Amino acid sequence: MNALLKSATIVDSKSDFHNQVVDILIERGVITKISKRISNPNNYQEIKLDNLHVSQGWFDSSVSFGEPGYEERETLANGLKVAAISGFTSLALNPNTNPVLDSNADISYVLSKANANAVTLKPIGALTKSSEGTDLAELYDMSSAGAVAFYDYKKPIDNPNLLKIALLYASNFNGLVLSFPQENKIAGKGVMNEDINSTNLGLKGIPSLAEELQVARDLFLLEYTGGKLHIPTISSAKSVELIRAAKAKKLDITCSVAIHNICFTDDKLLDFNSNFKVMPPLRTENDRVALIEGLKDGTIDMVTSDHNPIDIEHKKVEFDHAAYGTIGLESALGALQQLFSTKKAVGFLTKGKERFGVKSYIISEGEIANLTLFNPDTKYNFSIPEIRSTSKNSCFLDSELKGKAYGIIANNKIEIR
């Protein structure tokens, strides 16, 4: 693949060309020249886009598709296409398929389906067999096949001894264990955050205590085992405090926050819109502000879209019975730029790679081209026509967003909307 990017503003603080408007020559997938003006004697494909900005490729640590088993929600082929035009050059794929990705063969299957794609797919294997929380899955075999972490998606590990054993066992091969932060006995049958809004709406609530107890437990287990733990999608102020204290102890802990949890509060549920029914639930303004502060000071290591396509039959139903989840790949940049500068937003979208075994490439001559192309200044209403995902369950529908990806250049391929 050969291409010439014209008049591109580089957003990469590690590059010598940061904040400069330049031409970028790419030959056979490698950046061979960066200069103010580059001629095109070999008649390579020229990419000229309005207000073109280029950064290191973006990464998402929590993406669900559907295939195998739930192709009506999303296929791997279309999901990877959506990720590419949303600006993501790599993603970690959750194992919540049917069957659950809990074996060497399952990991090999999704990798083969994603082979030769512009987007690099990093599969997460189930932590327990069939994600049932009873017996550990084949962690080492899945790691050998290419799994980058182990997680029962959105399912807490109720048995603390099982998580202890998982942390100890995975440490033998530097495996990363993920633990969903919820104590189910406290959460009960709640469907939203427990607070004044749940009372007013007459809906059962999930107190933030359910998350915080589990986070505290998991951190004690991590300190005991000396393992390697990632807590996905925290949502409460107290969770931020607990993880901040654990990092001060030098524990091997990282965590993420879903973009919708820093953009919205449980006020969004006042009209029973099931697109805002997510897990963990949207919480209070105090929690939202604490999460943003956690991102700013580095307590929270990365953001995720927590992209989870849900078909209309499971979303457009009575709120109590609606499935949890929202899509988020296509709105990620636009949502983040409602809260942060372009530099900070891009910084958050490029963090977390090392934790999940994804290599970073600086925008520099001689480096492999792993680039996201975007316009940070486009303002638009996020509506159904903007969505290429098969499922349309976005909590950002009808939101005014700022910034849109054009696509990516990665794995010696160009993928532009």
Tell me the percentage of the chain whose pLDDT exceeds 90. Answer: 100
pLDDT at 115: 94
Confidence bin at 175 (pLDDT 50/70/90)? very high
Q: Which helix (DSSP H) or strand (DSSP E) does residue 242 occupy?
A: helix 237-248
Task: Quick: pLDDT tens for 12-69.
Answer: 999 999 999 999 999 999 999 999 999 998 999 999 999 999 999 999 999 999 999 9
Say if residue 216's pLDDT is above 90: yes
Residue at 386 is within a domain: no
Owning domain of residue 13: 2-53+364-379+401-416
CATH number of the domain enclosing 120: 3.20.20.140
Q: Do 17 and 86 reside in the same domain of the chain?
A: no
In terms of Cα–Cα distance, which of 292, 245, 287, 297 is closest to 265?
Answer: 287
Q: Is 306 designated active site? A: yes
Residue at 330 is within a domain: yes
Confidence bin at 187 (pLDDT 50/70/90)? very high
- How far apart CA 226 and CA 241 sit, in angstroms, is 20
First to last CA, the chain: 17
Average pLDDT of span 214-238: 98
Q: Do 20 and 84 reside in the same domain of the chain?
A: no
- Can you state the percent helix, strand and coil of the chain, rounding each to 5? 30, 25, 45
Which tokens go with 256?
């993420």
Q: Do 37 and 82 reside in the same domain of the chain?
A: no
- How far apart CA 113 and CA 67 sit, in angstroms, is 10
Q: Do 111 and 10 reside in the same domain of the chain?
A: no
pLDDT at 41: 85
Say if residue 382's pLDDT is above 90: yes
DSSP annotation string for 1-60? -EEEEEEEEEE-TTSTTTT-EEEEEEETTEEEEEES----TT-PEEE--TT-EEEEPEEE
- How far apart CA 9 and CA 52 sit, in angstroms, is 6
Confidence bin at 379 (pLDDT 50/70/90)? very high
Q: Which residues of 336-371 are buried (b: 16+ CB within 10 A; e: fewer)?
A: bbbebebeebbbbbbbbbebbbbebbbbeeebbbbb
Average pLDDT of span 227-238: 98
Residue at 163 is within a domain: yes
Confidence bin at 143 (pLDDT 50/70/90)? very high
> Is the pTM for the entire model greater than 0.85?
yes
- How far apart CA 407 and CA 57 sit, in angstroms, is 10
Residue at 387 is within a domain: no
Residue at 121 is within a domain: yes
Which tokens go with 126?
């189930």
Average pLDDT of span 171-198: 97
Task: Quick: pLDDT tens for 68-92.
Answer: 999 999 999 999 999 999 999 999 9
Task: Quick: pLDDT tens for 2-23.
Answer: 999 999 999 999 999 999 999 9
Q: Which of 12, 266, 306, 311 is catalytic?
A: 306
**What are the residues whose beta carbons fall under 8 Å from the beta carbon of 283, sequence distance 6 or more?**
193, 195, 208, 235, 236, 261, 265, 266
Query: β-strands 371-381, 53-56: how paired?
Result: antiparallel
Q: Which helix (DSSP H) or strand (DSSP E) does residue 99 occupy?
A: none
Are 118 and 414 in contact by the 8 Å Cβ rule? The answer is yes
**Pseudo-torsion of CA 154, 355, 214, 293, nearest 10°?**
-100
Q: Do 311 and 215 reside in the same domain of the chain?
A: yes
Q: Do 11 and 87 reside in the same domain of the chain?
A: no
Residue at 384 is within a domain: no
- How far apart CA 119 and CA 139 sit, in angstroms, is 24
Residue at 388 is within a domain: no
Residue at 391 is within a domain: no
What total of structural domains would you count in the chain?
A: 2
pLDDT at 145: 97
Mean pLDDT over each residue of the chain, to the nearest integer: 97
Q: Do 307 and 348 reside in the same domain of the chain?
A: yes
Task: Quick: pLDDT tens for 268-319.
Answer: 999 999 999 999 999 999 999 999 999 999 999 999 999 999 999 999 999 9
